[in-house]
Amino acid sequence: MKVGCLRVCVCGDSYLARYLFDEWGARMPEAKCWYVICYDIIEPKRWPAVYKKLHGYGRRLQYSIFRCRLTMRQMERLHWELEAILTSEDRLLIVRVCESCERHVATHNRPEAWEVDAKSFVIA
């Protein structure tokens, strides 16, 4: 397998991001990772736009905290779209949760919050 880009998580877990090719040179699907996205918006008029944008990409965990399972390309697009809505006085935090860190996520009172949708599947 050829790799065009290798990223390393803060915790040391390496993962293959973009440009994955099989031995015949065919492009393989991009890997998806969990992201936790938190925001603090000063102007209440921007709240609905940010909420709608994030709701289209993931699931709300708390009022201003979402979790999304996205490819790196999808994450870059979402980040760009959020930056177009937010201003310099707003705050945005995006945390990628790697596979090894994902196994250590503890959920209390809401175990369904980190379940992977049954819709996704891998063809071997």
From first to last of its 124 residues, what are the pLDDT tens digits of the chain? 334 344 445 454 444 444 555 566 666 677 888 999 999 999 999 999 999 999 999 999 888 999 999 998 999 999 999 999 999 999 999 999 887 787 777 766 665 655 655 555 555 4
pTM (predicted TM-score): 0.65
Q: What is the C-alpha to C-alpha distance for residues 3 and 21, in angstroms, rounded to an integer?
A: 7
Q: Where are the domains of the chain?
A: 30-112
Query: What is the DSSP code (8-state) at residue 50?
Result: H
Say whether domain 30-112 belongs to CATH 3.30.70.240: yes
Whole-Å CA distances, 111 to 95, 105, 107, 108, 122: 20, 10, 5, 6, 24
